[in-house]
Each structure stands twice: as C-alpha cells, then as structure tokens.
C-alpha cells in the first residue's frame, strides 16, 4: 500500500486506457485481476491480524478482484467467506470465481463478519445499486469492526464524486493502480475513509491531475535578507480585520516583509507589520524594483467604487497577484479579460459562492469546472472547499485531500490568501500554501478561529 501524496489521479476513461496499454504490452485482464486481488489480500491480512473476513463480490471485474483476494486470503490461512449480489459476467470474473472453489452465499442472507471487503462495484458505475444490495451492504459494513472497499466504495461515480443513493462509510479504500477523482472529491471522499494505493503493475501512469503533496520548502538560504525572502503587499478595505489576518498569515508563512495598505487600522496585528496609507502611487512605489513580491487584494475589500479602483490598480501592476474575497465579486467581463493579459501571474481563490459569482453555476466534476474557470480567466484558480482543487490555464490540476471541517469559520480564507501571496512572491505556485493551511488546521485539532490558524502557520512552516 502506498500513501496518496503526489500520486496521479485518473478518470474512469483514463484508467481504462492505462489498463489497455498494459494489456497491449503483454499483461492480460486476468493478470491485472490477480495483482489486484493479491494487493487487496495483503492489505487486509496485514491490518486485520487473522480476523474472519467476508468478501462481497459483484458481477463485474471489481467482483473478480474480490474473488481473487478471497482465494489468496484463504490460502494464507485467513478465515474467509464470500457473498455475491449476482453471478459473475465477465470472463475474467468467471475464472476468478471458479478459482476460489468455495461456497458463495447470497448477499441478502449472509451473516456479518468482523472484517468486510466491499468488492461489489468499482470504477465506472453510473447507476445506483438495487435496494436489496444497498441494504445488505449497509448492514454488513455497519456491523463490521473494519471495512475495506476495492477501488471505490460501491455506489459512487468515479469522475465527479457523486453518491448514487445511500453509500455507507468505509474505513479503508484500496485504490487499484491509480487514484480516481472520487477518492478526493466530496461527497464521495468522505465515504472512502483512509485511501491507499495498490500497485497492479501499470507502468508509467501519468495524468494532468494529481493529489496534493507535502511541499519541499526548507529554511531560507544563508545569505537571505527580508527582501529576498519576498515582499507581500496586502490591499485592505472596509473590513480591516480581514486584511490584518491575511497580513499576519503572510508573515507567519515565511515571507520577509509584509506591507498592509489599510486606512482604518486594526488592533492586535504584529509589531513587525508595516502599514501604509492607501494610494496607487504608494503601492507602486513599494513594489518598484522588488524582484520577489506579490499583491493580495480582496480580503475585507468591500464591493464599492473604492474597492473597484483598488482592484484595477492591483491588476495593472506587473507582479504576481492573489485575488480573493470581495474582489472576486468584482470580476466582470472586462476584468477577467485583463487577467489573461497580465505578465505577473494571477491566482484566484474563490469558495463556492465566489466561484459562482465569477464564473456562474457549474455541474459535474469540480476538477473540470476549475479547469474551465482557469482557462477562461487566464489565471490559476484555487477552488476552495472540503475538496480544494487547483487548476492552471494549461489544464494542470491538483486536488487536496479533505481538510478539517473546523476551517468553516470566518477569516480562514483570508489566512489562505496571505499564505498564497507568500508562495507567489517566492516564485512558487499556490500548492504549498494549501498544504500549510490544511496542516495548520490539522495540528490545531478543533474549535479554532482564524487568528489561531494564522499563528499556527509559523510552526508548520518551520517544520519543513
């Protein structure tokens, strides 16, 4: 089993193509099924200490993987039973069923077991399970001490993470050959439990989409100074606390110098924070000649004429730019067109409401919606949420594993905007900021506020 950090994510069609390439290179469907079964059996055997196992098999190749796993578990002395919702239909699954050479119980009448393996349906499912199978799956997994899913929990769509009816929570999902979007997109990801990758012998698996990985940042070099570590300019507005949060987050996330343009002031900000009265000239002067710099505009900005002027000024300056919060609501057709012409690079950080305000309603895959928004705007888009997706205008995408639900509190997006500004000033993309943000939340546990999150960024950044 392999952790998922940085691993490629394949759609159902991409996975079929990868398997077809393996078959063209000399493997057979039966070979792939045997490797899948062996990988599943090894994971179950290692994690269950010989406890009795019940394998639920469906009619397709996912069920065939289950039959293969059951046979290998049995051969290794593990007490194992098999139940099915239908006879196998594919040639490989029929062969796997015959090789098991044991009794197969009806899923409706099967008794439970301490360990349950769901191998009913995997990648490519497009319709709900029949009511009888849904009920049996819920009953058997609900009564188990530990549950596994082979590739995906049954009842999930592969590419967009939708639930096709009731899907019970699984403790461990064993992704076969590659990650699928549903392993990271909600609401499916919440049903997958811990996701681990099982090697089935696919070679050179690549994709334009991958899972977020721990960044390799390290400490500043020995000859670093405050400007070489980056200058982040935060453009404040009607809600000074939001700008102050973004500024403190930028300071804690590792930049060398933070300027907050805030005419109202906000108590409690770090003494090292430099404040300036807002003007376009002051912003330009602060950034003039700085090689490592970025602007963050939007946290607490407001949506009036003054906010529009500040946003336009930020767009016009050729340094990396983060557009967040209120500023996203001001992205009309002309401003979106202007983003594509910028030479400094732009990152947009919308939550779902801001995404809809800027790009309209969407349906289907969040990954594809984010890619379309990035292509339309010419900017990198960080579509925030319990399943944050990052996409570039060229179609590259990164999906973050589920973050703490305690992030659903005011100001955490301002903290992220400040951290993204740090990475842009350092010549990096936003991925490291997403990781830092999520890790800070994980370390805090629960019931934290955005101020706590900003401060925790320092400890997380220092640990890298």
pLDDT in tens, 59-95: 999 999 999 999 999 999 999 999 999 999 999 999 9
Query: CB count, 10 Å around CB of 458?
Result: 17
Q: What is the pLDDT of residue 204?
A: 84
The answer to whether residue 331 scores a pLDDT higher than 90 is yes
b/e code 43-81 from CB counts within 10 Å (16+ = b): bbbeebeebebbbbbbbbbbbbbbbbbbbbbbeeebebb
Tokens of 284: 């330009």
* Sequence ranges of the domains in the chain: 7-207, 231-462
User: Residue 119 phi/psi, 5° resolution?
Assistant: -125, 40
User: Residue 18 phi/psi, 5° resolution?
Assistant: -65, -40
Residues 6+ apart with CB under 8 A from 383: 350, 352, 355, 366, 369, 370, 373, 389, 390, 391
What is the Cα gyration radius of the chain? 25
Q: What is the pLDDT of residue 263?
A: 78
CATH homologous superfamily, domain 231-462 = Ribokinase (3.40.1190.20)
Report the C-alpha gap between 431 and 299 in whole angstroms: 20
Residues 6+ apart with CB under 8 A from 21: 202, 203
Report the C-alpha gap between 362 and 65 in whole angstroms: 35
Query: Fold for domain 7-207?
Result: Rossmann fold (3.40.50)
122 exposure class (CB count in 10 Å sphere: 0-12, 13-18, 19+): buried
Report the C-alpha gap between 95 and 102 in whole angstroms: 13
Same fold, 7-207 and 231-462: no
The answer to whether residue 1 scores a pLDDT higher than 90 is no
Tokens of 35: 């490797």
Least Cα distance to 175 among 200, 143, 157, 155 occurs for: 200
Tokens 């990868």 identify what position?
Answer: 18
pLDDT band of residue 266 (cuts 50, 70, 90) is low
Mean pLDDT within 275-286: 95
The answer to whether residue 242 scores a pLDDT higher than 70 is yes
Question: What's the whole-model pTM score?
Answer: 0.94
């Amino acid at each position: 089993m392999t952790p998922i950090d940085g691993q490629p994510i394949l759609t159902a069609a991409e996975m079929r193509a990868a398997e077809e390439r393996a078959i063209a290179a000399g493997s057979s469907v039966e070979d792939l099924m045997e490797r899948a079964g062996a990988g599943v059996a090894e994971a179950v055997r290692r994690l269950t200490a010989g406890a009795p196992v019940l394998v639920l098999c469906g009619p397709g190749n996912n069920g065939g993987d289950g039959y293969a796993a059951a046979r290998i578990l049995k051969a290794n002395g593990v007490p194992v039973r098999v139940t099915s919702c239908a006879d196998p239909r594919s040639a490989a699954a029929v062969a796997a069923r015959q090789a098991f050479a044991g009794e197969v119980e009806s899923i409706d009448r099967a008794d439970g077991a301490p360990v349950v393996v769901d191998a009913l349906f995997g990648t490519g499912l497009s319709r709900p399970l029949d009511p009888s199978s849904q009920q049996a799956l819920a009953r058997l997994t609900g009564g188990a001490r530990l549950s596994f899913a082979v590739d995906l929990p049954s009842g999930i769509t592969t590419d967009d993470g939708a639930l096709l009816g009731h899907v019970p929570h699984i403790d461990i999902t064993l992704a076969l050959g590659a990650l699928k979007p549903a392993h990271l997109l909600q609401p499916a990801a919440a049903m997958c439990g811990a996701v681990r990758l099982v090697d089935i012998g696919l070679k050179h698996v690549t994709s334009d989409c991958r899972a977020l990985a721990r960044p390799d940042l390290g400490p500043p070099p020995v000859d670093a100074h405050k400007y070489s570590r980056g200058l982040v300019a935060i453009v404040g507005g009607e809600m000074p606390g939001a700008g102050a949060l973004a500024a403190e987050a930028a300071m804690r996330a590792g930049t060398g110098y933070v300027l907050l343009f805030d005419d109202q002031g906000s108590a409690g900000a770090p003494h090292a924070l430099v404040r300036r009265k807002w003007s376009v000239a002051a912003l330009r002067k602060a950034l003039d000649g700085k090689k490592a710099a970025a602007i963050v505009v939007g946290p607490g900005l407001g949506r009036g004429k003054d906010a529009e002027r500040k946003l336009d000024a930020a767009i016009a300056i050729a340094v990396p730019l983060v557009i967040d919060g209120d500023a996203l609501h001001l992205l009309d057709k002309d401003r979106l067109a202007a983003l594509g012409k910028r030479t400094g690079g732009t990152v947009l950080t919308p939550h779902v409401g801001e995404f809809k305000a800027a790009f309209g309603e969407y349906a289907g895959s969040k990954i594809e919606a984010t890619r379309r928004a990035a292509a339309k705007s010419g900017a990198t888009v960080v579509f925030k949420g319990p399943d944050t997706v990052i996409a570039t205008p060229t179609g590259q995408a990164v999906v973050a594993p589920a973050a703490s639900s305690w992030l659903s509190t005011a100001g955490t997006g301002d903290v992220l905007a400040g951290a993204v500004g740090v990475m842009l000033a350092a010549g990096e993309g936003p991925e490291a900021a997403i990781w830092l943000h999520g890790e800070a939340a994980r370390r805090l546990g629960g019931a934290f506020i955005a101020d706590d999150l900003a401060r925790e960024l320092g400890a997380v950044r220092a640990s890298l």
